[in-house]
Chain A
């Protein structure tokens, strides 16, 4: 493909270099300056890990991080269940009544400005509390409910697109052999779409962990999540312990993506090998 015109590949290379530099230089600068001795974040004062120590001594950040992690895990689990159901409905049930509305309801949260979603959810919680007394007050429950609502869309999209690219013949064969739909889903569909479901869970987890705007609207005075604490610190200017926190998060994400990448590459290699063997057997039947 590169042989189309040799002059162009030089242009392409510079596009890649420039594009990725733009994406990665800011992240790298956070990592580098997290090891800076100087308090003036961007003036290099020698190597030091003292900001990591300061970070782990900061009770407020640790508490907020623990709250955020609990919300993220609970949210991701609920959103994955609901999103998988929605994605399965959209991909496998053909044209059912109300399908268009479900498509709208699952895609609109992806682009809806967060200030609107946040405000509307808060007003709903207040109205519900007035009407039925639940949810009483605002805090972890309301944050989790709000997060489930907008992260389940991401899971739906991931699961639906995986199912759409999947051949239905395997599921149909199992149905023809008399398996109940629920059994077919549990024994055939779910194992095949498991990677998509897992990446949906991870996506819901990280988005929940990162959300500031919607959370600020629905969080009560008692509950401060990690992004809320970071935001209030960062508004006052750069602070080196936030760089240390960013570096830890970048490291965790990179390791996670790297592992996922290796596992996926192995899987595709394995399937390709199997397919090649299958082709060979077709070409040269023994």
Chain B
């Protein structure tokens, strides 16, 4: 500023004063810019999805009817096309209900197995020497930096009939016919657990690492066996980590598309796949929107639960 010409300095002062008069201080701008972006590109779209879920399909571009149509000259000559039929359709055609239930089932089972694998790993990392911890954590995060699509693709080569596992088992003489693993629900569980494992490990680790170890020492002094201490002290204390990790896996898993599309059976009913098919193959934007709104309503409860848990965790820590 010091080297700037007087006119420029005057101009900048004038702009500053003008912004102040509008009540726009630097602070407001700092908050306002990302705020505006997210309201426009994340919040507003949901209103549009909701609107289109109530409209009717038509063969045009875009392939839906406007909700409000002006039919006459005057402003009052409007015709409303509010059509809740898409939602009745979702309810009546058992395909959608089954897809929702199946997605919830797949997400629940996958979350459970992710917890089962992640917990011992997070525990072992949290109890390792501090120098080793950094390296181990980096090794957990490293796969997350490589393409999810390619990591899911890797499982095709491992699971298919002439893939790694079957070839190995046949060579060992354990089996003589390949076991069908690809395009099964098992492959979907495996893919979800594998892809979302870092999301489970990180909150668990953050929690277990903070734990007060003197409690375990006290238990040991009082004659408690390590396993009992683990079940009665470590696990209950790590509940916030378990909660956060499970939600971070469960919520995106319900709407997962890529993993069931690549590893699952061709006719697998996952709601993410159904939405994709409605949109891309059937070009039925209103029904796809209704599926999205229904999915969102199902996920509101776990999302709110996650945020409450995180807020509680944050206030508890500070």
Contact = CB atoms under 8 A, between A and B. Distances in A.
B297 to A, nearest CB: 11
Nearest to A206: B145
A2 B31 contact: no
Contact of A111 (B26, B162, B248, B289): B248
Interface stretch (B79-87, B90-98, B235-243, B253-261): B253-261
Given A16-B121, A250-B146, A1 B154 contact: no
Interface string B286-318: 001100100110010001001100100000000
Contacts of A152: 34, 37-38
Contacts of B34: 82-83, 85-86, 89, 102, 106, 152, 156
Contacts of B150: 30, 230, 242, 245-246, 249
B48 A124 contact: yes
Interface string A32-48: 01000000111100000
A253 interface: yes
A190 interface: no
Given A22-B117, A89-B30, A250-B146, 12 more contacts: A4-B213, A26-B158, A105-B43, A116-B292, A123-B49, A130-B62, A217-B279, A234-B153, A238-B153, A238-B156, A242-B153, A249-B146
9 contacts: A4-B217, A22-B194, A27-B146, A30-B150, A130-B62, A182-B26, A230-B150, A253-B145, A253-B146
A257 B194 CA distance: 20
Interface of A: 1-2, 4-5, 7-8, 11-13, 15-16, 18-20, 22-27, 29-30, 33, 40-43, 82-83, 85-86, 88-89, 93, 96, 98, 102-117, 119-121, 123-124, 126-127, 130, 145-146, 148-150, 152, 156, 181-182, 206, 209-210, 212-213, 216-217, 227, 230-231, 234-235, 237-238, 242-243, 245-246, 249-250, 253-254, 256-257, 261, 265
A29 B123 contact: no
Given A114-B255, A119-B292, A246-B150, A104 B307 contact: yes
A213 to B, nearest CB: 5
Contact of B226 (A4, A30, A114, A146): A4
B76 interface: no
B222 to A, nearest CB: 14
Nearest to A228: B149
B307 A107 contact: yes
Contacts of A11: 120
Contacts of A265: 134
A121 B303 contact: no
A199 B104 CA distance: 34
A224 B179 CA distance: 36
